[in-house]
Structure 1
Amino acid sequence: MNGTRRAFLGRALGVAAAAAAATAAGPLAYAADAEGTAPETARRCRRIPPSGIGMHLYTMRTPLAADFKGTLARLAQIGYATVGVSGRHGNSAAAIRSMLDETGLRAVLEHVAYDIVRGSGLPQAIEDTHTLGARWIVVPSLPGAMHTPAGFREAAREFNKAGLAARNAGLGPVLFHNHGADHQVVDGENLYDILLRETDPELVGFELDVYWAAKGGGSDPQDLFVEHRRRFPALHVKDMAPSGGFADVGSGVLDFAAMFDTARSGGVKQWLVEHDAPADPFATAQNSYTHLANLRY
């Protein structure tokens, strides 16, 4: 475990108890704190706007395969406002848009494979993003063979070109979603830092998966939001169990209140819940929504 990861997880574990106690005290405790009457550890009054709490649909892939519209309806009943599309389960973009409209949800992004974004499929991906009513195309991962400094520099060039096409079509920047391997140091260079440095901030942004940023050991979201302002319009909010596995948001060791403290600097607009392997997707959806809706930071 390198120093950055140790510091990040240490802060998560060390502050978690105080944050949980403050959250349990409820909104009134934060209101009192705003007047200077609560402990320093509870000085949190900001909240995630309801319109910013979403579900990344990879979490719900099993129920979606059985009943796409019914799953969307249940997410809306829980309170979710938005979704990130990841897998259509045989539905067209237009059909998904219709189901979203009927259930009162809004798509904000769709995951599109790197080979499509860098190739001849980009115009169709742009059209589909418009059809969904979304703003961002997200590249979910890079091929394993590209995990070298040269590979990430190639990806940065491709992202810049795709981002320009997206902007010219009226969309937001093309985003990149990280996994743990994207934060590794290869030949003395942090791969994720290459993308941050060598992509145009006007054309390329990032959907930061906070779990993988911590697991990969390369990046503390709280620092990234300050050092690379307005480059993180969307997050994957995924918690880490004490064992290092996945957990429902709010049940693990990651200190979301601390990392979100600088989210405004990072330009965060969407907090999308994700769990890679939920035992009960709807229970995960409910638990995670409740935590984010009640979170103060």
Structure 2
Amino acid sequence: MLLGDLAQGLGGIPPSAIGMHLYTMRGPLAGDFEGTLEKLAAIGYATVGVSGRHGHSAAEIRRMLDATGLKAVLEHVAYDTVTGSGLPQALEDVRTLGGKWIVVPSLPGTLHSPEGYREAARKLNQAGLIAREAELKVLFHNHEPDHRTVNGQMLYDILLAETDPHLVGFELDLYWAAKGGAKDPADYFTENRHRFPALHVKDMAPNGDFADVGSGVLDFAHMFGSARRGGVKQWLVEHDNPTDPFASARNSYEYLRDVRF
């Protein structure tokens, strides 16, 4: 930490908490999974979120992670798997990867109503109870539709209110929260302490497109100032459509390494 930061009481993100969500790197991973991991580690990343295995087993990915010094902290697994008979195997795979969290990336479109989100909350609670027995936790990852208001209720807030904090947490995607018109993420962190162990740090260009972290319009320093109240432990970079995935990964890492809040 810089002397000026100390004087102002500013802090930064611990190096061990800066990760890459591997959806960003899906192109390079398809061609050379281990080589891509090696390059991410060389940039400085400490952790990854797994999203797509590209034909590899959980054990094979764990071997590659161990070889490159990276650690998987979570895996994205489909809602139907997490809430169905596939959950035990999915939990075992997350444990094999070395992760802490099994993340539902989105809800089926058929559930995009207040009643559907209440049903999802019940099922996520049930899955969360099983996950807890495996010493893991279920998280939910948001997209733009989750922040729509239907019949006077924001759908995302239904999940927050009706899931058990001990069983279900959230991986907040900052871009989609902003795109969907959600409340200030800093307010989410303050009002729902210890419910947000992971973030997708994704920036927004002035025209609303995706951008490398730190190059867009989102005020991350403001959001991060309240992040620890929400229990944030992992800042995972994501860019849905980077022109050059490795350049994007490097730019985003350097911003998160240097940001102070």
What range is the shorter-chain TM-score in?
Answer: over 0.9
The answer to whether the 8 A contact 2:105-2:142 is kept is yes
**Superposed counterparts of 1:192-231, under 5 Å:** 192-231=156-195
1:132-171 to structure 2, matched below 5 A, reads 132-171=97-136
Share of identical aligned residues, percent? Answer: 72
Q: Which residue of 1 aligns with 2:196?
A: 232
Q: Say yes or no: does 1:27 pair with 2:15.
A: no
**SS of corresponding position for 2:218:** coil
Once the two structures are superposed, the pairs formed by residues 4-83 of structure 1 within 5 Å of their partners are: 27-34=2-9, 45-83=10-48
Aligned twin of 1:262:
226
Q: CA deviation at 1:99?
A: 0.1
> CA RMSD of the aligned region, Å?
0.9
- The one-letter code of the counterpart of 2:76 is H
2:62–2:97 contact (8 Å) kept in structure 1? yes
Determine the C-alpha separation between the residues in 2 that align with 1:73 and 1:58. Answer: 16
Matches within 5 A, 1:84-123: 84-123=49-88
Whichever residue aligns with residue 2 of structure 2, its letter is P
Tell me how far 1:31 sits from its aligned partner. Answer: 3.2
- For residues 239 and 281 of structure 1, the distance between their equivalents in structure 2, rounded to whole angstroms, comes to 14
**C-alpha separation in 2, matches of 1:109 and 1:219:** 25
Matches within 5 A, 1:272-283: 272-283=236-247
In structure 1, which of residues 166, 170, 185 is the aligned counterpart of residue 149 of structure 2? 185
| Structure 2: runs of 5+ lacking an equivalent | none
Q: Quote the Cα distance in structure 2 between the aligned partners of 1:237 and 1:162.
A: 26
Aligned-partner Cα distance in 1 for 2:237–2:188 = 19
Deviation at residue 29 of structure 1 after TM alignment: 3.3
Question: Which residue of 1 is the match for residue 217 of structure 2?
Answer: 253
Give the TM-score taking structure 1 as reference length: 0.87
Instruction: Kindly provide the CA deviation profile for residues 198-221 of structure 1, in whole angstroms up to 9, marking residues without a partner as x.
Output: 000000000000001111002211
The alpha-carbon deviation at position 170 of structure 1 amounts to 1.3
SS at match of 1:129: helix
Q: Which amino acid aligns with 1:120?
A: S
Equivalents in 2 of 1:33, 1:125: separation in Å? 45
CA distance in 2, matches of 1:62, 1:168: 35
8 Å CA contact 2:5, 2:11 repeated in 1: no
SS at structure 2 position matched to 1:197 = helix
Per the normalisation by structure 2, the TM-score is: 0.98
Instruction: Give how far 1:187 is off.
Output: 1.2
Aligned residue type for 1:163: G
Q: Distance in 2 between matches of 1:129 and 1:32?
A: 42
Corresponding residue number in structure 2 for 1:42: none
User: Does the aligned pair in 1 maintain the 2:17–2:47 contact within 8 Å?
Assistant: yes
Unaligned runs of 5+ in 1: 1-25, 35-44
Using the alignment, how far apart are the partners of 2:145 and 2:4 within structure 1? 40
- Alpha-carbon distance between aligned partners in 1 of 2:135 and 2:217, rounded to the nearest angstrom: 39
Q: Secondary structure at the match of 1:110?
A: strand
2:259 aligned with 1:295: yes
State the alpha-carbon separation in 2 of the partners of residues 273 and 209 from structure 1.
Answer: 10
Q: Deviations over 1:174-231 (max 9, x none)?
A: 0000001100001111100000000000000000000011110022110000000000
Number of aligned residue pairs: give it. 261
1:33 Cα deviation from its structure 2 partner: 3.0
Q: Which has the larger radius of gyration?
A: 1
